[in-house]
Structure 1
């Protein structure tokens, strides 16, 4: 199970983005990703699961989610 994601106020998000930008200039950050599955029961004993990717940028041990709306689009024009 993925760890809980904190809920931040807009001000906290802005401060965190500024802090990350400073860290990026000083340190090399890494992009990390994980695949999760959204599942629902179609019929008894039958499940439909759709994978989706979440992308994170890791700087100095802290990870900030950077997944955007286009990350999980497949073949849409």
Structure 2
């Protein structure tokens, strides 16, 4: 299992890594991306649940950052270079899901399935 990861909003990320993001060339940075899938269930009383997934792109600046580490045994502090992944995904990153014709039906089905699943969950809580 992956270790817990702090989630920062965009404003916090840019405040924390402002110097690196303003000039990534000075910090030995490279742009990286991954695609994840956001999934939901399409629930129907007449048929088994269907899983609907949409691709979601995430973009990172992967940079070397100098940090100070303390040796657990000796207590000696040393400077070390560590990789840091800074998420720079923005609202525009996944805009193609809303604008490209090829995703139109998938996005509509996903949104409708989310609404139906929410109604079903709310109904289940009140019964």
TM-score by length of 1: 0.71
Q: Does 1:37 align with 2:41?
A: no
Counterparts of residues 1-77 of structure 1 (less than 5 Å): 4-8=4-8, 13-18=14-19, 20-21=20-21, 24-43=24-43, 44-60=48-64, 61-74=83-96, 76=99
Distance 1:15 1:27 in 2: 15
Runs of 4+ in 1 over 2 A off after TM superposition: 1-5, 7-13, 21-28
TM-score by length of 2: 0.47
Distance 1:54 1:12 in 2: 14
Q: Cα RMSD over matched residues?
A: 3.1
User: Larger % of helix: which?
Assistant: 2
Q: Deviations over 1:14-64 (max 9, x none)?
A: 24222x147724333101001111111103331100111000000011010
**Structure 1, unpaired ranges of 5+:** none
Distance 1:25 1:49 in 2: 36
User: Larger % of strand: which?
Assistant: 1
**Structure 2, unpaired ranges of 5+:** 65-82, 100-127
> How many positions carry a matched residue from both structures?
76
Tell which structure's C-alpha radius of gyration is larger. Answer: 2
